[in-house]
Amino acid sequence: MLPKEIDKLIRDFYAEVFNGHDAAAAAKYMRPDYIQHNPGVGQGRDAFIAAFAEKFRKVPTFHLEIKHLIVQDDMACVHLHAQGLPGKAESVVCDLYRIQDGLLAEHWDVLQPIPPELIGNNDLF
């Protein structure tokens, strides 16, 4: 895939699945054998769909805002602002994806809660 095609794949995935709260739509964007490196979500596309259907049911305010998206070869890195998690601080998230045959094939992530006070006027985005 060309970088702009991967960019569109990722942006459409976030808009429809995460921000549209349509977990089942992940079937259009993920390989069935999707490899998940987040220990809180099971392996495969079906496990992702089940986990996020439940998350959207429990957290209707969940939202991910893409701040940066970098594509190189078959990899995409997404820098995000996670919002709407009741009782939790907003977070900075970096998702890393490997793309195969035009679909999301593998995922890693790193999360950092946003502290109530930022020392030195740091801007996390």
Confidence of residue 30 (pLDDT cuts 50, 70, 90): very high
Q: Is the pLDDT of residue 66 over 80?
A: yes
pTM as predicted: 0.91
The per-residue pLDDT for range 44-58, each reduced to its tens digit, is: 999 999 999 999 999
Q: Is the pLDDT of residue 121 over 80?
A: no
- What percent of the chain lies above the pLDDT cut of 70? 98
Question: 3-state SS string over the chain?
Answer: CCHHHHHHHHHHHHHHHHCCCCHHHHHHCEEEEEEECCCCCCCCHHHHHHHHHHHHHHCCCCEEEEEEEEEECCEEEEEEEEECCCCCCCEEEEEEEEEECCEEEEEEEEEEECCCCCHHHCCCC
Confidence of residue 22 (pLDDT cuts 50, 70, 90): very high
Fold of 3-114: Nuclear Transport Factor 2; Chain: A, (3.10.450)
Give residue limits of the domains in the chain. 3-114
